[in-house]
Structure formats: C-alpha cells, structure tokens
Amino acid sequence: MAELYAERYGRWKRIILLSLLSLAACAMLSLHVGPTKIPPLRIAQILLFEANPLIRGGGGIEGTILIKVRLPRTAASVLVGGALAAAGAVFQGIFRNPMADPYVIGVSSGAALGAAVAIVLGLGVKAFGGASISIMAFLGALLSLAIVYRVSKVGSSVPITTLLLAGISVSIFLSAIVALLEVMAGTELHALVFWLMGGFSYARWKEVWAMLPSLIVGLPLLIAFSKDLNVLTLGEEEARHLGVDVEKAKKAFIAAGAFMTALSVSTSGLIGFVGLIVPHLTRILVGPDHRILIPASWIFGASFLTLSDSLARILLAPSEVPVGIITALFGGPFFIYLLRKRGEYAA
C-alpha cells in the first residue's frame, strides 16, 4: 500500500512539474504575440529592468507595451483560467457529474445581467466609475447565487438536485432579461455582445488585483476541504456515516467555487467550457483524488485559457477574436464527446 501511494505521489509531482512548465511556455507566448512581436530574451531583459528600481522604465516602447498591456492581460488570463477550472472540478465533484461546470448554478447569468445593466442603462457608472461593468457583473453574480441558494433550500439543508434545478431556472429567467436588454441596447449593442463573448482586451492591473482573492483565498479553501469532497463523491449518506458535516462542506465548496466564478466572469466576461473540459481531462491524467485534482486543474486551466487568448490574437491579426469563441471551438466538440461516452456507458 505504501509503495503504491509513493508511486502515485511521484507521478503527481511529475505531472505538476510538467504542467507548470507548460504554463510558463503559454505565458511566454502570450507576452510575445501581438502587433509588436517581443522576443523571449527581450521579454526577460525588460522584466529584469522592471525588477530593479534603479533602472526601472528602461525598456523603451517595448517595455511600456509589455508592462502596461501584455503582462496584466497574461496574468488575468492565468488567474481566470485557473479559477474557472478549479471551480469546475469542485462542481463536478459536488454534483457527481462530469458535465457540470462553474456556471451551472446561475452565477454567469447573474453576472451577464449586471454587466448588461451597466452597459445599456448606465447604472453603477456614477458610483463605480470606469470599473462599473466589472463591479456590477460581480454584484449580479452574487445576487443570482443568493436567489438560487434561497430557492433551493429545504429546511436547513440544500439538496443537490434542487440546487441544480434552481440554478437552471434562474439562469433561463436572467438570460431572458439580458436578451431584452440586447434588444434595447442601440449603440451599446456591440460593447454588450463583445463582453458577453468574453475576452481580455481591456484587462489591466486593476483587474489582476481584483482576481487575486481567487488565488489567495478561494483556491486554498478548496484544497483545504478537498478530503471532504472526496468523501462527498460517494454520496451524502455515506459521507455522513464517515463523519463529514455534509451541509457545512457543501456550503464551503459552493461559496468558494461561486466566489471564484463571480470574480472570473466580472473580469473577463462569459468564457465557456474552461470549467467543463479542463477538470475532465485533468481527471484522466491524475485520477479522481481532489487533493491533486483541484490544484492540477487550476494549472491546466490557466495554461488552456492563456493559450486560447494567444490564439485569439493570432488567428485574425491584427483583429482580435473574442476568446470565448476559441474556447467554444475546443469545448463544443468535447462536450459532444462526453455526451456520446455517457450514452455508451448507459447502454
């Protein structure tokens, strides 16, 4: 038994190391591509300049582009991709369904409504200024989560099936309101549609700082409770018999996962399939143990979304494709594959 665990632990370490190298390569590509190509050695040189306060700002125009535009964009794509993938792994575990994703409980629809209200009606602009869209999206996401949780609560517990159905119902209702706002949008329609498709065109350092709690608070919380999630995947009754406080664990996972998702959507708009395909592929590589699945999903999700954002800038250069389209091109066929596999298993 000890030898088996040691072998598995060694394999996990190798996978994590390779995934970190992959993330570094994807981040370097993201810093390199754009209208002005910056070679990797020049990128390293500029970063060294900026790290030294005595020669900071010595990178010239390339340094300005790298530090003020590409570096925050890359950091935002890393944080958003990691958060969505880690949250996806958690929701797939809670719902015991590989086709669940972070948007399943209505967070994305609430965020979309908040952003649509800010863009079309201008609400929140006076209070929040230039950050009004992100803040309204975040508040909308939290409001939709509160509604879903309240609707699905039965006594002192929240049945998973009821939570899922409530999330779907609230999502449909809020999506209808967003569609109505699109009809009313007028000249703001382009901005609204572009936000709904997702992307990092406007990501700057303030968006990166806003996403940091997902890494500093959300991810450690998920990892800390990962053993309980392993037990929850066996079923709620089995988890109770094994000493897990099921309702407390569910609340912690749902709150942390929804918090990370809300931050992500408010930063990047709606980017689908990251929380669906990345945890599933990661599970194939590292197995179902959430102690390794959650951090590994975070790293692979960060790599996947950073690479997708690079492709979004390359495909139709100098124009830019919304990154949500790129992830959908990968995720759509994969979702069909999952449906086919589940159908074969059921047969």
Q: Over its length of 347 residues, how does the chain's per-residue pLDDT go in tens digits?
A: 556 666 777 788 899 999 999 999 999 999 999 888 889 999 888 888 776 665 565 667 888 889 899 999 999 999 999 999 999 999 999 888 777 888 888 888 888 898 888 888 776 555 555 577 888 888 888 899 889 888 888 777 778 888 888 888 999 999 999 999 888 887 888 888 888 888 898 888 988 998 998 899 999 999 998 999 999 888 888 888 888 888 888 888 888 888 899 889 888 888 988 998 999 889 988 988 999 999 999 999 999 999 999 999 998 878 888 999 999 898 888 778 777 776 554 44
* Residue 128: Cβ within 10 Å count: 15
**Are the CB atoms for 200 and 323 separated by under 8 Å?**
yes
Going by the DSSP 8-state scheme, the letter that residue 158 receives in this structure is: -
Q: What is the pLDDT of residue 129?
A: 56
The domain limits of the chain are: 2-346
* 234 Cα distance to chain centroid: 26
Separation between Cα atoms, residue 198 and residue 173, nearest integer Å:
21
pTM tops 0.85: yes
Number of helices and strands in the chain (H, E) = 17, 0
Separation between Cα atoms, residue 83 and residue 268, nearest integer Å:
12
Separation between Cα atoms, residue 124 and residue 117, nearest integer Å:
8
Q: What is the pLDDT of residue 340?
A: 75
Q: Output the CA angle 273-177-168, nearest 5 degrees.
A: 45
Is the CATH number 1.10.3470.10 carried by domain 2-346? yes
Separation between Cα atoms, residue 169 and residue 164, nearest integer Å:
9
Q: Report the half-sphere exposure of 137 (CA within 13 A, side-chain side).
A: 28
Q: How buried is residue 213: exposed, middle or buried, by Cβ count under 10 Å (0-12/13-18/19+)? A: middle
Burial 319-333 (b: 16+ CB within 10 A, else e): ebbbbbbbbbebbee
Q: What is the pLDDT of residue 295?
A: 95
**Are the CB atoms for 228 and 277 separated by under 8 Å?**
no
Token digits of residue 73? 């964009």
Separation between Cα atoms, residue 102 and residue 98, nearest integer Å:
12
**Are the CB atoms for 118 and 133 separated by under 8 Å?**
yes
Q: What is the pLDDT of residue 346?
A: 46
* 213 Cα distance to chain centroid: 13
